[in-house]
A and B are shown apart, each in its own frame.
Chain A
Amino acid sequence: MAVSSLTRALGALLLSPAPSLPQIAQHPRLVCLGGNLLPACHGFSTSSNLSTNNPMWKCRIKYTTRPVGMKKTGGRDHTGRIAVHGIGGGHKQRYRMIDFQRLRYGPGSESGSYDEKVIQIRYDPCRSADIALVAGGKQKRWIIATENMQPGDILKTSRHIGRMAVSASEGDAYPLGALPVGTLINNLESHPGKGAQYIRAAGTCGVLLRKVNGTAIVQLPSKRHMQVLETCMATVGRVSNIDHNKRIIGKAGRNRWLGRRPHSGLWHRKGGWAGRKIKPLPPMKSYVSLPTAAARA
């Protein structure tokens, strides 16, 4: 069966204007079934579901701040075979839907800059960083928390790029063109409007190195350089939970609680992959698509 995308009914239900995924007719009931029949009104003495058997738990259309029950994969993919070894077991987790697209306007609201207030910062079992519940206007959403975020802070999100660089405070989100060179950033997009996919782990931060006519060059935590359009949004500051890499697991059981199964005990002769390598940096990765020769001509 072809991959049926659920775009037909998405239009009115998404937070942001629907992306340009192709319109394919699909079973409208599948839309409603993403995630335990989308209970709108819980019974009076129930909490959110802890886990679910529903294999489509992550195909929810409507955004919610309530945690969603997850179904563990055990490293298996849709064929049933192990695709990734060493995953399985571990404490039950509930997925909190994180909004990585920081610049998200509500339906019909004005464009420009807007403020949001941090309500609560909590631990997220699905990632190393902490997450923050922020509220702005009429909506609440979860975002990745930065290092010194406290409940009650006001965060600013803007997409305006002025001639002068903005003196950004931690937690604010601006396009790269508006930030001064040398700021520490996190939650970086590769394309404008795509949503943050880089620099999201605990304690990481990238550095804005330079801005070159319409593009910006960022150094990622792996020291690789990345060139993106200057309208891509990024959040200022380091990601929260900075002592994450200093923690000591202590025992094998704690790894099992985290869902990591032991390595295979079979002796392998190490090949060319093992050992420390000292290489020059890979070339700069550019996500800026230059106009083709045909368009230029």
Chain B
Amino acid sequence: MAGLWWPARPAAGALRAWAPRGPHRGKTAQVPRRPLPRTPWTTRGPPPGAPLPRSWQDKRPVQEQIPGLEQVTYAGKQYFVPWLARPRLPRWERGWHDPRHSPGPRYEAMPLYKERVCYVCHQRTKMLEGVRQALWLTKTKLMEGLPPKVLSIIDEPANQLENEDERVQNAISHARVWITTELIPKRESYCPVLLEDLLHLCRTMASKYPSLSKRMLARDYKVAAAWERESSILQVRGMNGILLNAINPLLPVASKDEILATENHVLETFHPISPTIDLQEVNVYEERHDTGFREGYPYPHPHTLYFVESANVRPVRFRPEQLRAKMLMFAFGNALAKAKILYGDDPKVLEHPVVVQSIGTEGRIFQFMVFQLNTTDLASSDGVKNLVWIDSDQYMYDYIRYLPGIRKKVVKFPPGIYGYRPDTFKKFLALYLHGAVQDSTQTQIL
């Protein structure tokens, strides 16, 4: 039974909320004895404001309207008899507050309830307009391609591993082929393994650049950042991805002139869609800034965020556009939380911009992003804007052949990786080395 493509039935004895419980447990197969309750989705009622037709007016039965003529029920007898009517019994009150059986406080009664709505972006938020929406929400200007600083790291011949292509292809084969005894592994098994292997390859460069050892990976941490954007409160919350922390922060990638030039850029709006579409609206919230780490953590500065999109089923999986939007929002969230902690809560233009990188993958396609937070003054759409460089849809390989293609008893297409592109790993490595490599154009703090 393990190979079913449809979800298996719940185990015998699983309690379903809509099914009868107690001694009538097994009677779900019967059709309901009563007509369905009337909801807006089951009725074609009269239009709002008009009186109901006489036959639909919910009249109380004659027995209830005329006192003394009520139906005789078995409520007084306290037990069921088949010839008396079914009583409308009052709801049973427990009499004391049992925390395991109480519905909980209503939203309006919670202490953090606020009238003003807040829009929250979390790790399952799939934004309709994708990167354009994230750019408006974070007041960012988009630049295509990676910044020239990072591209110059790629060009340096010293920044390459020995047998780089062979080792990367081994990593891909490990993740996609050797990881399991089944023929084709699922995405949720091969995607994280591929990322781990690539990170391991990057870490082997620590022998050449000792400052690479001053970094630490962190998983399952929660970030919190809040900001106001043209009269809407926005928040980024929750677990995002794998964060690479460093002892020293990344230096700004764009020059001062480029930052000042963003003042003239106009953010793209997309009428008639509101920029806060697809974000979760909450009334109970708390505006706080939290990088996810306490003070005194030895690796205080966020360096790179790695996003693994490993959902098996295609409707649940993030599409590349939505993955890029999620990367941008969480890179911004991490950068903003760090900036607020370093430079205070006042909205202002930062003299030392905070840079956070981000890499997202779904096993084959990589998205690279470098985000620079220039300002925390996000309430208005004018002024200095943040910058982001996005390199989207970088294929590491075209496809994997699991079975050999045999034509006329000759192996024409051997199994393995097809369409391998070495540039993608070079960019991956460059983003990893960024901040630790001696650049010829600029001296860096090691």
Contact = CB atoms under 8 A, between A and B. Distances in A.
Contacts of B49: 20, 193
Interface in A73-117: 76, 78-80, 97, 114-117
Interface residues of B, number: 51
Interface string A17-40: 111111010101110111001000
Nearest to B272: A115
Interface stretch (B37-45, B191-199, B248-256, B288-296): B37-45
Contact of B33 (A53, A60, A76, A78): A78
A137 B46 contact: no
B151 interface: no
A114 B35 CA distance: 38
Nearest to A20: B48
Contacts of A32: 17
Contact of A56 (B36, B45, B316): B36
Contacts, number: 149
Contacts of B276: 138
Interface in A125-155: 135-140, 154
Contacts of A58: 36, 39, 41-42
A114 B271 CA distance: 10
Nearest to A12: B107
Nearest to B29: A53
Interface residues of A, number: 65
Nearest to A192: B47
Contacts of A56: 18, 32, 36-37
Contacts of B313: 45-47
Contact of A34 (B39, B188, B273, B312): B39
B296 to A, nearest CB: 33
A191 B44 CA distance: 11
B312 A45 contact: yes
B293 to A, nearest CB: 25
A41 B312 CA distance: 16
A20 B50 contact: yes
Given A58-B39, A135-B273, 10 more contacts: A19-B47, A26-B37, A30-B37, A32-B17, A37-B18, A48-B315, A76-B31, A135-B272, A194-B47, A195-B44
30 contacts: A5-B39, A5-B58, A10-B40, A20-B48, A20-B49, A20-B50, A20-B52, A21-B43, A28-B103, A33-B17, A34-B39, A42-B316, A46-B313, A47-B313, A53-B19, A54-B18, A58-B41, A59-B37, A61-B41, A78-B35, A116-B272, A135-B273, A136-B272, A137-B277, A138-B281, A191-B46, A191-B50, A192-B47, A193-B47, A194-B45
